[in-house]
Amino acid sequence: RRLDAAGRYVLPGLIDSHVHFRTPGLEYKEDWEHGSAAALAGGVTTVMDMPNTRPPGLDEDAMRAKAELVAGHAGVDHRFHIGADPANTELLATLDPEVATSAKVFMAGHHTAPVVFRDRAQLDAVFADAARGGVRLVLHAEDQHVFDLLDSWRGDPHSYGEYEPHRPRSGAIVAVAHVVELVRRHGTAAHVLHTSSAEEIDLLVAAAREGLPVSFEVTGHHLSFTHADTCRRGPRTRLSPAIRGEADRERLWRAVLSGEAATAGSDHAPHTVEEKNRPPVDAPPGLPGVQELAVSIWTGMRARDVPADEAVRHLARLMGSGPADLFELPGKGRLEPGADADLVVFDPAERWQMSAADVRSKCGWSAYEGWTFTGRVVTTVRAGRVAWDVRTGLHTPADGRWLPTARRLEALR
Ligand code: NCD
Ligand code: ZN
Ligand code: ZN
């Protein structure tokens, strides 16, 4: 098949280091066939999947079992973040790097968290053990007081406008300050996921300047929407941590354009329409996004007058070299000799409106329905073959690989 890249950009196959593809146990929301299709349509050829499944992925056996379940169903290459278990943080001190080199920590008892670090001693232990094992922590940094406030909320159970302000920014800021303190004590590599506020970023940038091994992610959702969207449109833009106001969003954009943010992730977290239509107190937080991540970031950069030649470098860093370096993904994230044959042909100028018919996620809806994007993924090549073409659709053999680590390849050399 011919690639037509005239007047278009060629990017490395993109990496989304934060997806919830819901296997095992939650396949009614999403599965690897649909998740892969959404990824490829969005230019993503490699994903890193989260452990808040049923059962949760908390040990090496669970990770190996997941790899087996996924084999033959994934159209994208993949690695997994193991879930840090408060009852067994010692595992991280000896974790086999073949299985995982990063662990997700849920710092508070939020709706979709499988396990929760309830006290300071547990958090201290996970940072100490991860440092000993050379494991990078990826953190859902929210403090328990937010969720306690939510539990005690007695307002109109159907009003998002009333409910949302009861998820204060302070919950994320307090938690990030705690992360920085623990990194200073133990030297653990820590990547804060889905940053939502200016203060979180200021704290992390200051810590990185101090020389601490901290980094952070921005999500397409926190870059695209504001609190006003959630009040107006309700559950479809509701996730944890909450989407904040305009000033916070612009600080996130500054982190993108200054190079402060290390990765952009989708936090692709599908839930069914029925689940999302429940009153806010019962509706799970999270929304799909792997398909929309690159184009939403492109749209936002162009709306902020970032020249296309600069924008393409930001995208190639945030969804390419950034996650490839942080998560040790050899052959991924860069177009260079020896790299895997994963690439994206991207039209920088096409404007198109997303409709429900475009949605590839099994949940069948997107918060971006009705949005007009600037920029389009024309073709996605994975493992040397066209896997997505905007004219002919998906061509996806389910031959995605569970990726070996750089450490393993080095040992073999
Ligand atoms: C995620 C989910 O539904 O799995 N939800 C969310 O609001 N972000 C969980 C998570 O990323 O913490
Ligand atoms: Zn999270
Ligand atoms: Zn997530």
Q: Is the CB of 237 under 6 A from ligand 1?
A: no
Which protein residue has the closest C-alpha to ligand 1 atom 2? 269
Which of 19, 20, 106, 230 has most ligand 1 atoms within 8 Å of CB, for mutation? 20
For the chain, first and last CA: distance in Å? 35
- Residue identified by tokens 């953190």 is 139
- Residue identified by tokens 């919950």 is 171
ipTM: 0.98
Q: 52 C-alpha to center of ligand 2: Å?
A: 9
pLDDT of residue 149: 76
Q: Which amino acid does the sequence have at 127? A: F
Helices (H), 270-307: 273-276, 293-303
Active-site position among 248, 267, 347, 389: 267
Which protein residue has the closest C-alpha to ligand 1 atom 4? 269
Q: Is the CB of 18 under 6 A from ligand 1?
A: no
69 burial via Cβ count (<10 Å: 0-12, 13-18, 19+): middle
pLDDT of residue 408: 60
Q: 113 C-alpha to center of ligand 3: Å?
A: 9
Angle, to 10 degrees, between the axis of helix 293-303 and the axis of helix 246-258?
100
Q: Is the CB of 130 under 6 A from ligand 1?
A: no
Q: Please write down the long-range contacts of 231-236, taking CB distance under 8 Å and 24 or more positions apart.
A: 231/160, 231/161, 231/164, 233/367, 234/160, 234/280, 235/160, 235/276, 235/277, 235/278, 235/280, 235/283, 236/276, 236/287, 236/365, 236/367
Q: Is the CB of 43 under 6 A from ligand 1?
A: no
267 is catalytic: yes
Q: Could you read off the pLDDT tens digit of each residue along the chain, which spans 413 residues?
A: 678 889 999 999 999 999 999 999 999 999 999 999 999 999 999 999 999 999 999 999 999 999 999 999 999 999 999 999 999 999 999 999 999 999 999 998 767 777 888 889 999 999 999 999 999 999 999 988 877 777 777 777 677 666 666 578 889 999 999 999 999 999 999 999 999 999 999 999 999 999 999 999 999 999 999 998 988 887 888 899 999 999 999 999 999 999 999 999 999 999 999 999 998 778 899 999 999 999 999 999 999 999 999 999 999 999 999 999 999 999 999 999 999 999 999 999 999 999 999 999 999 999 999 999 999 999 999 999 999 999 999 998 999 999 977 666 566 56
The tokens describing 98, both together, are 């073949």
What would the pLDDT profile of 189-199 be if each residue is shown by its tens digit? 999 999 999 99
Q: 159 C-alpha to center of ligand 1: Å?
A: 21
How, if at all, do strands 372-382 and 9-12 pair?
unpaired
How, if at all, do strands 372-382 and 343-353 pair?
antiparallel
Measuring CA to CA, which residue among 54, 55, 49 is closest to residue 78?
49
Q: Which sign does the torsion angle of CA 300, 306, 311, 315 carry? A: negative
Q: 91 C-alpha to center of ligand 1: Å?
A: 24
b/e per residue 130-153 (b: at least 16 CB within 10 A): bbbbebbbbbbbbbbebbeebeee
Q: Does residue 333 sit in helix, strand or coil?
A: coil
| Closest atom of ligand 1 to CA, residue 52 | 4
Which protein residue has the closest C-alpha to ligand 1 atom 9? 112
- The answer to whether the CB of 177 falls within 8 A of the CB of 143 is no
d(CA 367, CA 232): 12
Q: 19 C-alpha to center of ligand 2: Å?
A: 10
pLDDT of residue 83: 97
Q: Is the CB of 200 under 6 A from ligand 1?
A: no
Measuring CA to CA, which residue among 240, 155, 131, 256 is closest to residue 201?
256
State the ligand closest to the CA atom of 272: 1
Q: Is the CB of 289 under 6 A from ligand 1?
A: no
Q: Is the CB of 269 under 6 A from ligand 1?
A: yes
Q: What is the dihedral of CA 250, 209, 179, 21, to 10 degrees?
A: 60
Q: What's the predicted TM-score (pTM) here?
A: 0.96
Q: 412 C-alpha to center of ligand 1: Å?
A: 37
Which protein residue has the closest C-alpha to ligand 1 atom 6? 286
Q: Is the CB of 272 under 6 A from ligand 1?
A: no
Sheet containing 82-83: give its strands across.
Answer: 82-83, 102-106, 136-140, 190-192, 214-219, 263-265
Q: 409 C-alpha to center of ligand 1: Å?
A: 32
pLDDT of residue 1: 64
Measuring CA to CA, which residue among 61, 60, 42, 48 is closest to residue 21?
48
State the ligand closest to the CA atom of 222: 1
178 burial via Cβ count (<10 Å: 0-12, 13-18, 19+): middle
Residue 278 dihedral angles phi and psi, to the nearest 5°: -65, 160
121 burial via Cβ count (<10 Å: 0-12, 13-18, 19+): exposed
d(CA 323, CA 8): 24
Q: Is the CB of 286 under 6 A from ligand 1?
A: yes
State the ligand closest to the CA atom of 111: 1
